[in-house]
Amino acid sequence: MIRASFFKIGVLAIALAALAGCNFTPVYGGQGPAFQNSGTIRVAEIPGRTGHYLRTELARTVGAGVPGFASGNLEISLTQNIERLAFAPDQAASRSDYVGNANWALKAPNGTTLASGLVIERASFNYANAAYADLAAQTAAQERLASLLARSIRAELIIAAGRPKAAAPDRPAATTSGQ
């Protein structure tokens, strides 16, 4: 029993040593150069109900900053539509999906694009027989869609922050013509 405990501790120590050897640092660990240059990210207004939910969620999750980006403005273009998935015998839609496409760009205060991308998510909902129940189902689906989009954008921001920055290209030497 005691030998097994020592064995487990030894394996854990080796695993932690391997992580330390590869410069592993947690994203929000509070140390290292990536954390030191993180600043607030302002999320621009996004029109519509789903846009409001998306902006609120992003302000909560990335507004305080993402390690790797000094500060910036997050601009999002949101499009959404409804796809009908299932039909009742009378050909009325009984199940649908809200599909959201969010083109996002994180821009530095001077307007330079630091990172950008596109995320696509979907949230399903059923049409109910009770009065106004379908409106509640659609609203709940919009909130879920916004939460899924925000989670995907946050994940892409973290991945983009971890990518090595491209070095500035060398300028060609100025040539002078002897003519």
Interval 11-34: pLDDT, tens: 777 766 665 555 555 555 555 555
Task: Tell me the residue type at 13.
Answer: A
- The answer to whether 157 and 62 have CB atoms below 8 angstroms apart is yes
Q: Is 25 part of a structural domain of the chain?
A: no
Question: 125 in a domain, yes or no?
Answer: yes
Residue partners of 161: CB distance under 8 A and separation at least 6: 34, 66, 67, 68, 69, 115
- The residue segments making up the domain with residue 45 are 37-162
What is the CB neighbour count within 10 angstroms for residue 77? Answer: 14
Q: Is residue 14 part of a domain?
A: no
pLDDT of res. 163: 76
How many domains in the chain?
A: 1
Please give the biggest Cα pair distance in the chain. Answer: 89
Residues near 176 by Cβ (< 8 Å), separated by ≥ 6? none
Asked whether residue 170 is assigned to any structural domain, the reply reads: no
Considering the domain boundaries, does residue 178 fall inside one?
no
Residue 135 lies in a domain: yes
Please report, for the domain that includes residue 138, its CATH number. 3.30.160.150
Per-residue pLDDT reduced to its tens digit, 63-101: 877 877 878 899 999 999 988 776 667 666 677 888 999
Is 32 within the bounds of a domain?
A: no
pLDDT, residue 178, reads 46
pTM: 0.69
Q: Are 118 and 102 in contact (CB under 8 A)?
A: yes
Of 153, 152, 150, 131, the residue nearest 142 (C-alpha): 150
What mean pLDDT value characterizes the chain?
A: 78
Distances 123 to 42, 61, 80, 92, 132 between C-alpha atoms, Å: 26, 20, 11, 19, 19
Does residue 103 lie in a domain region?
yes
Residue 35 has pLDDT above 70, yes or no: no
Q: Give the C-alpha separation, 146 to 57, whole Å.
A: 8
